[in-house]
């Protein structure tokens, strides 16, 4: 019998109430697990509103050491109770250092470690460089009880190098928790489709399923009466062809799930030859900051 994996992406809105945000996520995890999901992905920084819209030092108080973070302490035992894998996105503090991080909770509730976001954006409405150091963990892939899972965080998902690195490390699925929506500097700019297409391309060129989980809803900017962002949801699961096998709308609340055949994917990936025909000897320009 083929080895299969059922993946799920959660999609909902979040606000200032940490307990409510956790409870909302727990409820959706339970729903997805009841539907058969084995790996369940909440969106990025679901502990609260997406606070990186401006540079305000008060938000640093919301960061916690990853083992002690309230989201980890709530969701890791839930993973063990339900027998599911949950990648948990958090605002992490390590001493004087702050990171946008992901803690992998295995299906027995154990904590497998932390990944720290590698690519940190800095632009209107997404001023993350003020809050987060660039990740120091390198890309991570985990041997969970349901499969070998790779995970990046939001801005990481735009970089083919991140996806390819995790695929080379043996990932069987790629997961990206996300917080993305309107662009404050340009009301006409809608990135929802390019956001999906970038990850669908990773699925095709690595012959691997990809999951993106985004939040929804309008989040007003506290202290900025005319400011705010509307997050466009559109969470999805793409198969190895880049076709959508799980799909949510821009305002839909809940989850989407899909099952993939890991044995088929192993064979199909080998048959395509993307990894056989790689030429690392020609890729030096990728490892230099400013190639000639």
**From the candidates 52, 62, 71, 117, which is the catalytic residue?**
117
3 state SS for 256-284: EEEEEEHHHHHHHHHHHCCCCCCCHHHCH
- Establish whether 81 is a catalytic residue: no
**From the candidates 44, 92, 128, 219, which is the catalytic residue?**
44
As a whole number of angstroms, the distance between CA 182 and CA 45 comes to: 17
- Label residue 96 exposed, middle or buried (CB < 10 Å: 0-12, 13-18, 19+): exposed
As a whole number of angstroms, the distance between CA 221 and CA 53 comes to: 8
As a whole number of angstroms, the distance between CA 274 and CA 201 comes to: 13
- Establish whether 52 is a catalytic residue: no
Task: Identify whether the C-beta of residue 166 lies closer than 8 Å to the C-beta of residue 139.
Answer: yes
**From the candidates 52, 92, 128, 154, which is the catalytic residue?**
154
- Establish whether 117 is a catalytic residue: yes
109: left (phi over 0), alpha (psi -120 to 50) or beta: left
Distance of CA 278 to the CA centre of its chain: 27
* Residues marked as catalytic: 44, 117, 154
């Amino acid at each position: 019998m083929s080895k299969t994996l059922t993946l799920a992406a959660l999609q909902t809105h979040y606000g200032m109430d940490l307990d409510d945000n956790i409870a909302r996520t727990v409820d959706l995890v339970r729903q997805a697990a009841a539907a058969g999901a084995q790996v369940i992905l909440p969106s990025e920084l679901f502990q609260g509103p997406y606070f990186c819209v401006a540079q305000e030092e008060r938000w640093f108080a919301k960061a916690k050491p990853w083992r002690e973070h309230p989201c980890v302490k709530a969701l890791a035992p839930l993973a063990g109770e339900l027998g599911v894998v949950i990648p948990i996105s958090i605002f992490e503090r390590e001493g004087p250092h702050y990171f946008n991080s992901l803690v992998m909770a295995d299906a027995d509730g154990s904590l497998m470690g932390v990944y720290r976001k590698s690519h940190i954006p800095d632009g209107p409405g997404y001023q993350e460089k003020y809050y987060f150091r660039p990740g120091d963990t390198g890309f991570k892939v985990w041997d969970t009880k349901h499969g070998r899972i790779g995970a990046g965080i939001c801005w990481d998902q735009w970089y083919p190098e991140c996806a390819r690195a995790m695929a080379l490390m043996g990932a069987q699925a790629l997961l990206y928790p996300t917080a993305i929506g309107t662009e404050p500097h340009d009301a006409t700019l809608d990135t929802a489709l390019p956001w999906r297409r970038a990850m669908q391309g990773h699925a095709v060129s690595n012959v691997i399923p990809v999951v993106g989980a985004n939040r929804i809803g309008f989040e007003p900017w506290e202290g900025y009466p005319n400011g705010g962002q509307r997050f466009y949801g559109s969470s999805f699961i793409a198969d190895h062809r880049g076709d959508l096998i799980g799909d949510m709308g821009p305002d839909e609340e809940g989850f989407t799930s899909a099952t993939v055949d890991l044995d088929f994917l192993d064979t199909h990936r080998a048959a395509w030859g993307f990894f056989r025909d790689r030429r690392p000897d020609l890729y030096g320009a990728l490892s230099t900051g400013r190639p000639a």
